[in-house]
Structure 1
């Protein structure tokens, strides 16, 4: 059986969540959002995280920023150091400023204002020794070197090639960050060379089928034992259990309309 470790997360209520523009293939302004259902689903996620012993800090939502619920995109925190985000699209740029204010108000004094486009944990995933970094649709390749220089950890670049998986956290999930071995990912989201790199680094990875990847099943959060993931990704349950993890399905169907799920809502504060 795997061992869970207590985590600290930053999350933002979807009080103003709406799909009023389209900056990824999942977003369709013609499909209305049920805001009360989105809030209820998000609150269930927060309650589940807290029931597992994790701390959830709250970021105040801004009515001008409907995507703020996807807090993971606003920063990357490693060893108490905060690499801020620089969003690719102007519709989300204000989120980086809101998160920067939160970090400074809550004692995170080591904050780096980035020069290059990166979208936080949307495109950065942390293992014990490495930072896996996505590029191709949002974060720029230059942001990888910037992250490595600031955070002092090796950064491994991975090329995303399917626009449906526009962030790394839609195509890959680190299951246990106390190791360099436990991940799950969807191979077809990556270029052939990046698939070869992943296969070499993680020969025993859980490989997601297209059906589970399209349910955003890889947009998941793990504490080393419990894996919170979208309920539509039912095919991932058995391989996760076979490796000693406990999958916990979550219903975030309303937030999926914005192109995000469990992980997009959850920024880990590694302090």
Structure 2
């Protein structure tokens, strides 16, 4: 058995698809998990989650630094955050084995993305950007049909500087900012970057589009760059238009908000 402070868990493992950090479900607290890392400070994630209040976003209860023990033998100091454990399936994994050309399955996909829009809009209304939407951070609860948005390690205030990036699901403006940051500290100042490349909620919407495209085509947009209906002829025209709008390189040409994405999807 492992322990950090008063928190006990059975396995030391890193679920890379869910978090950069180690993660375990606690055995002494119901429906609660702990993320821990010797290097990563979870204080920012803790305070961001404390500002958010939505049933599809995990609640956090504690963070700090503690000593990791295995069977009462000290191993290493760890930073940690304790938060609600979300039961469910990685959204991409859930649909991977389903017949996406089946009308019922496609309808289920659309309903799932309608559900995603609610917590995402809440985050944006609080002036935050998740900045790391990817498979594993969207968890479908099959019983309720709700999709939960997890892992706010890389979340930033609107207009801020990225703290990290998942290149496969990053927006063009995140990749552009990354290139600017590579020039620091010799060439570019942070103020120059934030004024030149201003990130907002549409950054998350691009990542959402990449995941949506992957599910309904079983292909990666970054590889194919093909219209969804050319891969899956069962995709309705309205959904095709939504996907193209989400995947616009220029943020000003994208759908403006998660709320608008939800409204359009409900009419597909």
TM-score bracket for this pair, using the shorter chain length = under 0.3
Q: TM-score, normalised by structure 1?
A: 0.25
Query: Larger relative contact order (C-alpha < 8 A, sep ≥ 6)?
Result: 1
Structure having the larger proportion of residues in helix: 2
Q: TM-score, normalised by structure 2?
A: 0.25
